[in-house]
Structure 1
Amino acid sequence: MRNYIELSEEVIQAKEQGKPVVALESTIISHGMPYPQNVQTAREVEQIIRDNGAVPATIALLDGKIKIGLSDEELEDFGNSTNVAKASRRDLPYLLATKQKGATTVAATMVCAELASIKTFVTGGIGGVHRGAESTMDISADLEELAKTDVAVICAGAKSILDIGLTLEYLETNGVPVMGYQTDVLPAFYTRTSRFPVNFRVDDEETAASVLKAKWDLNLSGGAVIANPIPEESAMAEEDITAVIEKALKEAEERNISGKEVTPFLLGKVKELTDGKSLTANIALVKHNALVGANIAVKLAELE
């Protein structure tokens, strides 16, 4: 395993000292935001985690290694590169063998976090069942990973571009608990609400951590979703974002965009159609997730 995984000095020290570590994905840096906002946001998110008693570990593929924690220079280089592959579970062996740069998706980050014995992972929003999946079978690998990998994912719910109802059905079928952090309904990324209730509501980090500990103590394999709504001051109106997404989906269909190209296209189109407001919202929700995720990681470490 040492041939493939390399921990940063900060992460090594955290593990030696028994400090909680929080995983962060790298697709949000390479494919989710433009430079330099991507690098600036990544640094700010890492600092939020440090300020709240945990240690950040941004995960990426570099030089034939799974890097668990990036140096400041690596983060800058990664965020400014144009030749970064989007890496899900299926892509990890090829990208490592060919020593290509790879940005880990939610699914791949979960795989790598579990390999490094990291239980808590902060991201923007999870992937899910795409609209029209009954004919396209376009379902994110994130959902399968949640079904089998023991990592908790703190996010702002499922991306608004998805079929949220079917996404929740898929998670239920695979026994993945969906907890709403101080909410009874699943947030939809840019908006704080949707019409879909969560499985359980948790109002503090200690309760969330206790649920995770009980789940894994019982050897109930798989992850959990902790859905944390975007801060109210940064949220977008549900009717506005719905209209924008419908327009973006129509254009994607007209241009025959499919597979893993759909999400980046739609997110880019949403940013364009909202005059950049969606990017501001994206940054705000990731930072808020980092705050909650760090606190949950600390409580989980105390319980263990």
Structure 2
Amino acid sequence: MKKTYLRISPEVEAALAENRPVVALESTIISHGMPYPQNVETALEVDRIIREKGVVPATIGVIHGEIIVGMDRDEITYMGKAGLAVRKLSRRDMGAAVALGLDGATTSAATSIIAHLAGIRIFATGGLGGVHRGAPESFDISADLDEIARTPVLTVCAGPKAILDIPLTLEYLETKGVPVVSYRSDRLPAFYSSQSPYSPDYRLDDPADIARIFHLQQEMGLSNGMLVCNPVPRQYEIPQEEINPVIEQAVREAEEKGIHGKDSTPFLLDRVKQITGGRSLDTNIQLVYNNVRLASEIAKALAALSAGEL
């Protein structure tokens, strides 16, 4: 049955039909992750980087109740200018957004679901949502974790967001059976920082090896995704000993203001940006560029495996 609520751009549709590599991209990073105009500039530069790698970009979002896979420049600009006025969409919101004709920026969870619906197997983002600090009392756990556990899409990120409880996030992923890979590092990256004290399940140095593991997961009928953590380049990182006190200050301020749930991440990221004088935003932009480069290489290897060429 034709999915009337889903519009796949002709470029993305042709690439999927021809088994050419495609990388899915979320839209929350555009509307909620960065201010305008840096958000639109970053999104368009991400498109350019992916195309330069010989891969097709597929930015995903919802406009007037229509799910779009492969947003064009005008649609990305619309989402970026609207900013925080655009509703954040996770799994629970998708039906309502379509039925009510809403605009929506897709989180990692929603992007994974839609990518899978469209037949896209790789998704690149900035940082992974996870278990928030204080979660044993608040039960504040991102839906991103459950989604990566039940949707067969490979996610490339710069590690869990630094504002999270990283050890509990890793425990949750282990419980859910999600393999966590660190690219070319024995330590797990932590978003702004290229290294944390924590170890991944696997260190892999070749995008083709990453693609083989995910390809075999799918061949075995396993329905879970896979998490690939790609360290931000050292020249752009903010080391943990420098960023942790900033995050702790932002978390305290959120608690004092009673900010929690889906509002906490935008508040914390914006507050960290303010305290660091914009340096954290520069790091965020560079790690996104780095992630889409790696995701493109994995996508090419996965397409070659599917074609029996690797």
Regarding TM over 0.5, the answer is: yes
For residues 53-132 of structure 1, the aligned pairs below 5 Å read 53-82=54-83, 83-132=85-134
For residues 280-299 of structure 1, the aligned pairs below 5 Å read 280-299=282-301
Q: Deviations over 1:200-229 (max 9, x none)?
A: 011011011011111111112111100000
Q: Does 1:213 align with 2:215?
A: yes
Q: Deviations over 1:214-269 (max 9, x none)?
A: 11111121111000000111001211100000000000000111110000000000
The separation in 1 between residues aligned to 2:216 and 2:252, in whole angstroms, is 44
TM norm structure 1: 0.99
Tell me if the contact between 2:24 and 2:60 (Cα under 8 Å) persists in the aligned partners.
Answer: yes
Tell me if the contact between 1:110 and 1:149 (Cα under 8 Å) persists in the aligned partners.
Answer: yes
For residues 39-50 of structure 1, the aligned pairs below 5 Å read 39-50=40-51
The separation in 2 between residues aligned to 1:43 and 1:6, in whole angstroms, is 20
In the alignment, what sits opposite 2:165?
Answer: 163
Tell me if the contact between 1:87 and 1:102 (Cα under 8 Å) persists in the aligned partners.
Answer: yes
In the alignment, what sits opposite 1:264?
Answer: 266
Tell me if the contact between 1:127 and 1:142 (Cα under 8 Å) persists in the aligned partners.
Answer: yes
| Equivalent position amino acid for 2:279 in 1 | K
The separation in 1 between residues aligned to 2:163 and 2:33, in whole angstroms, is 14
| Equivalent position amino acid for 1:24 in 2 | L
Compute the displacement of 1:16 (Å).
3.0
The separation in 1 between residues aligned to 2:213 and 2:49, in whole angstroms, is 24
Q: Deviations over 1:141-197 (max 9, x none)?
A: 000001100000000000010000000000000100000110111100000111110
Tell me if the contact between 1:156 and 1:228 (Cα under 8 Å) persists in the aligned partners.
Answer: yes
| Equivalent position amino acid for 2:58 in 1 | A
Tell me if the contact between 1:127 and 1:158 (Cα under 8 Å) persists in the aligned partners.
Answer: yes
In the alignment, what sits opposite 2:52?
Answer: 51
The separation in 1 between residues aligned to 2:118 and 2:255, in whole angstroms, is 39
Q: Deviations over 1:58-107 (max 9, x none)?
A: 00001221100111111111111143100001000111111111000000
The separation in 1 between residues aligned to 2:82 and 2:252, in whole angstroms, is 30
The separation in 2 between residues aligned to 1:78 and 1:263, in whole angstroms, is 19
The separation in 2 between residues aligned to 1:13 and 1:303, in whole angstroms, is 19
Tell me if the contact between 2:16 and 2:120 (Cα under 8 Å) persists in the aligned partners.
Answer: no
Percent identity, aligned pairs only, is: 51
Tell me if the contact between 1:179 and 1:226 (Cα under 8 Å) persists in the aligned partners.
Answer: yes
The separation in 1 between residues aligned to 2:266 and 2:114, in whole angstroms, is 22
> How many correspondences in the alignment?
304
Q: Does 1:30 align with 2:27?
A: no
Instruction: Name the stretch that deviates more: 214-223 or 117-126.
Output: 214-223
Compute the displacement of 1:13 (Å).
2.1
In the alignment, what sits opposite 1:7?
Answer: 8
| Equivalent position amino acid for 2:63 in 1 | L
The separation in 2 between residues aligned to 1:154 and 1:237, in whole angstroms, is 21
Tell me if the contact between 2:16 and 2:119 (Cα under 8 Å) persists in the aligned partners.
Answer: no
> Where does structure 1 lack aligned partners over 5 or more consecutive residues?
none
TM norm structure 2: 0.97
Tell me if the contact between 1:88 and 1:105 (Cα under 8 Å) persists in the aligned partners.
Answer: yes
In the alignment, what sits opposite 2:234?
Answer: 232
> Where does structure 2 lack aligned partners over 5 or more consecutive residues?
none
SS at match of 1:80: helix
Tell me if the contact between 2:8 and 2:69 (Cα under 8 Å) persists in the aligned partners.
Answer: yes
